[in-house]
Amino acid sequence: MSVELIGANPIATLTNRGERVAVVSMWDVAWSTHGAGRAVLVWVGGDESIRLLTPHEHLGSWLAQTFNRHFPEFEGLPEIADPIDCDITEWLIEPARARLDVVASDGLRVTTSISGPVQTRPGYAPTFQLGDLPWTLTNLLTFCADAVVMVGGTPIEAQPAISQDGPWTRSTAFIATHETWTRRSAAASTTS
């Protein structure tokens, strides 16, 4: 097994009447096999592709294709578009709140905030399937009640979905920090 990425990845999925209408994924990579940096993936209902905004083209493409395209939050959505350069005017990721404001080179502005923590707990997925191989994921997850997404200055009229499973509260808006992705070898996958 080899560590491939260390960083943070808050995600907000907003719904309206049970229908997914927007998804934003913020990557803040402290270290990876493809370098460090930031990237934002955003989709709003009706978009023909998922937008990838990043000042780090190589890293952003790797994140999008290796991770996001396999995440359940992105299941059934259109393809991820080629990366677009952007200026990051605000960026904050803490265990209890996250915020971003980015302006793409084509002029599109994306603003997102995630806050209102309802439960924090360690996350551990020993066999998170990404493509053909399982990976191991560890992180600290803070599920949040509030999330706002604005694209092009227009707020999306939707909110995160919150659910209860026994003592566990879940939300489709969460802040994942202290995140480590470890790629398992084919040999390790067949023996575990």
pTM assigned to the model: 0.94
Structure confidence at residue 190 (pLDDT): 47
Q: What angle do CA 14, 15, 20 make, to 5 degrees?
A: 95
CA 189 → CA 94, 115, 184, distances in Å?
Answer: 33, 37, 6
Encoded tokens for 72: 């359940």
Structure confidence at residue 114 (pLDDT): 98
Per residue of the chain (192 residues), what is the pLDDT tens digit? 799 999 999 999 999 999 999 999 999 999 999 999 999 999 999 999 999 999 999 999 999 999 999 999 999 999 999 999 999 999 999 999 999 999 999 999 999 999 999 999 999 999 999 988 899 999 999 999 999 999 999 999 999 999 999 999 999 999 999 999 999 775 544 444
Structure confidence at residue 186 (pLDDT): 58
Structure confidence at residue 184 (pLDDT): 78
- Picking from 27, 34, 26, the residue whose alpha carbon sits closest to that of residue 3 is 34
Q: How far apart are CA 176 and CA 98, in angstroms?
A: 10
